[in-house]
Amino acid sequence: MNLPATPERFRIRRARPEDRDAAYALCIQTGDSGAVGSHLYREDPEALPNLYVGAYLQFEPEFSFVLEDDRGVCGYALAALDSARFEQRFLREWLPPLQARFPEPAGDPATWTPVQQLYREYHHPQLFYHPAFQTYPSHAHIDLLARAQGQGQGKRMMRHQMATLAAHGSKAVHLGVALVNKRAEHFYRGLGFSDIAQQGDALFMGRSLP
């Protein structure tokens, strides 16, 4: 499903298999709490998107959308209709091949690189499922490159994603935001999200659909 291009030449469409590399690269470009994170993951640029992008593209294609302009993919909106079911597939199907390819790092954790810390997470995933999520069973997240920010495209993508989830029967959605990322928190509050839980340095927010 494609949406028509806006006057700014941005277009939302469902992700295709060939978008995988662009989506992975985008994840790295926004991988430092929204800022460019490529310097953190040079030794393995796929380490981060393996955790936060790949499983959505494979397991939830109906809820994987990209934003593109004349230069190519510049954003994505990813979601899972049923978070509990998605996490079970993530654990049973997605992580084992990664665990086989990337051994758990050894030695002093204080000396691990950001990539090694991600490899450890492959073996010890930090999944958090608060009881409140039963009321907000779907979850979503988006990332936009700088050239697509500040033009209403994030809200446009989230509204499209939420409408898609609602059309597939979801009654509510949640998402996580780093506590230090006040810009993202403000953005989601503007879309009607409110606080539902907190874990460590992450704030979880939710809203009813549609």
Examine residue 94 and state whether it is found in any structural domain, yes or no: yes
Examine residue 73 and state whether it is found in any structural domain, yes or no: yes
**Residue found under tokens 């509990």:** 84
Residue-range definition of the domain harbouring residue 57: 11-170
pLDDT of 5 over the 60 cut:
no
Examine residue 179 and state whether it is found in any structural domain, yes or no: no
Nearest alpha carbon to residue 8 among 67, 78, 65, 63: 67
Examine residue 152 and state whether it is found in any structural domain, yes or no: yes
Q: Is the peptide bond before 7 cis (omega within 30 degrees of 0)?
A: no
pLDDT of 7 over the 50 cut:
no
* pLDDT (tens digit per residue) in 81-116: 999 999 999 999 999 999 999 999 999 999 999 999
Q: How confident is the model at residue 126 (pLDDT cuts 50, 70, 90)?
A: confident
* DSSP count for the chain of H helices, then E strands: 8, 7
Examine residue 186 and state whether it is found in any structural domain, yes or no: no
Examine residue 60 and state whether it is found in any structural domain, yes or no: yes
Examine residue 57 and state whether it is found in any structural domain, yes or no: yes
**Residue found under tokens 């469902």:** 14
Count of structural domains, the chain: 1
Which DSSP letter does residue 22 get? H
Question: What is the CATH number for 150?
Answer: 3.40.630.30
* pLDDT (tens digit per residue) in 37-47: 678 889 999 99
Examine residue 209 and state whether it is found in any structural domain, yes or no: no
The residue type found at 15 is A
* pLDDT (tens digit per residue) in 29-39: 987 666 666 78
208 Cβ contact partners less than 8 Å away, ≥ 6 residues apart: 171, 172
CA–CA dist 204, 186 (Å, integer): 13
By CB atoms closer than 10 A (0-12, 13-18, 19+), residue 43 is exposed
Nearest alpha carbon to residue 67 among 22, 102, 29: 22
Question: H or E element: which one contains 100?
Answer: helix 95-101
Mean pLDDT on 148-163: 95
What is the predicted pLDDT for the residue at 38?
A: 76
